[in-house]
Amino acid sequence: MNMFRQLVGAVFIILSMLSFTTANAQVYPNKPIKLVVPFPPGGLIDNAARLISPALSKDLGQPIVIENKPGSGGNLGAAEVAKANPDGYTLLMASAPLSISPVLYKTLPYNPSSIEPIAIFGQLPNVLLINPESGINSVADLVKRAKASPGKLNYASNGNGTSLHLSAEMLKSQAGIFVLHIPYRGSSFANVALIAKEVDFMFDNLPPAMGLINGGKLKPLAVTSAERNPALPNVPTMVESGFPNFLVTAWFGIAAPKGLPDAVSQRLQNSLQKIVAQKEMVEAISRLGATVTFMNAQQATQFMTADTDRWRKVIEGAKIQMD
């Protein structure tokens, strides 16, 4: 009899826990959600956040409040989210620096393990650019010229430790060339320098470069994705250009403080997956220069781990470290 009562009690507890979990999933969210964008307004990540937020707000039934918190290469915004309650009401617009920062910086204002991805839903390549009057027509031409005069060529970037800087360092390492780095305050300043022939080449994110490419101001040699980009169908990939291990993609998604309840994480994953499957959203994201590539929390975690390992090799090989 006692054993029967214990069994009934155990079943009751399990059912209560399941009921509580289901109730939580149904209740969330019941107040506005803050989405921290760790970069200034107007950039790619901010634009992606403002694109996805209205649809996410509609699906969740609560306002999404965007808070721009730029600084330290995205680390200040990430730190705010890392220290927030893991309840689903403070989220991070995540991007590539979340993978790069743990191996780039000596110290961070947050513990990288205190942030977990919810989903990744957009990816876009970098593009290798040269001046159209340079006489260089391929990656092979660029490498040949660099090897003929070690240290004579230089490249621009939008700052130390950025994916544009590290993409060029990856090329240096894989091609076995020695070229000098000239950092600028932003990619637009680097573009101007390349147009003015103050530098010899640079990598840039594809979207901001498209206007200059279409206007004939800059010439693309290759994109860094696994496949050719629809916006530049005649431009080969770095893989096609003889660098089978050269894969660099900028990406964006949503992350949260570590410890988010499974029901809440799943609610957000399901919502995001549904939203980015819609034709209108696919087209809107493509206008940012990105492609929809949905990864759930588990897939995003694996992707980010591989991304960190890829950048670790580049950063350690080039002996780059930020304070």
CATH number for 95: 3.40.190.150
User: Which domain covers residue 214, as residue numbers?
Assistant: 125-223
Mean pLDDT calculated for residue range 123-151: 96
β-strand pairing of 115-130 with 33-37: unpaired
Query: Is 235 a member of any domain?
Result: no
Per-residue pLDDT, 9 = 52
Query: Is 229 a member of any domain?
Result: no
Is 136 found in the same domain as 118?
no
Mean pLDDT calculated for residue range 156-175: 91
- Single residue among 223, 241, 259 that ends a domain in this structure: 223
How far is the C-alpha of 67 from the C-alpha of 92, rounded, in Å?
Answer: 10
Is 88 found in the same domain as 137?
no
What values do phi and psi take at 179, rounded to 5? -130, 155
CATH number for 179: 3.40.190.10
Is 52 found in the same domain as 18?
yes
Is 154 found in the same domain as 70?
no
Per-residue pLDDT, 15 = 46
Query: What's the residue count for the chain?
Result: 323
| Total count of domains within the chain | 2
Assess whether pLDDT exceeds 90 at residue 243.
yes
Query: Is 49 a member of any domain?
Result: yes
Give the chain's mean pLDDT: 90
Is 266 found in the same domain as 210?
no
Per-residue pLDDT, 5 = 57
Query: Is 152 a member of any domain?
Result: yes
Is 253 found in the same domain as 149?
no
Is 308 found in the same domain as 219?
no
Per-residue pLDDT, 160 = 83
Assess whether pLDDT exceeds 90 at residue 283.
yes
Percent of the chain with pLDDT over 70: 92
Assess whether pLDDT exceeds 80 at residue 191.
yes
Is 281 found in the same domain as 214?
no
Is 171 found in the same domain as 111?
no
pTM, entire model: 0.81
Assess whether pLDDT exceeds 70 at residue 138.
yes
Query: Is 238 a member of any domain?
Result: no
Residue 90's pLDDT band (cuts 50, 70, 90): very high
Query: Is 233 a member of any domain?
Result: no
Mean pLDDT calculated for residue range 140-161: 94
Is 115 found in the same domain as 130?
no
Assess whether pLDDT exceeds 70 at residue 11.
no
Per-residue pLDDT, 6 = 54
pLDDT tens for 44-77 read 899 999 999 999 999 999 999 999 998 888 899 9
How far is the C-alpha of 89 from the C-alpha of 34, rounded, in Å?
Answer: 6
Is 264 found in the same domain as 157?
no
Mean pLDDT calculated for residue range 7-24: 46
Query: Is 197 a member of any domain?
Result: yes
Query: Is 236 a member of any domain?
Result: no
Assess whether pLDDT exceeds 90 at residue 249.
no
- Single residue among 166, 188, 223 that ends a domain in this structure: 223
pLDDT tens for 117-133 read 999 999 989 999 999 99
How far is the C-alpha of 193 from the C-alpha of 187, rounded, in Å?
Answer: 10
Closest listed residue to residue 224, CA positions, set 216, 232, 214: 232
Is 75 found in the same domain as 35?
yes
Phi-psi sector, 73: left (phi>0), alpha (psi -120 to 50), beta: left
How far is the C-alpha of 244 from the C-alpha of 227, rounded, in Å?
Answer: 12
Residue 12's pLDDT band (cuts 50, 70, 90): very low
How far is the C-alpha of 253 from the C-alpha of 94, rounded, in Å?
Answer: 5
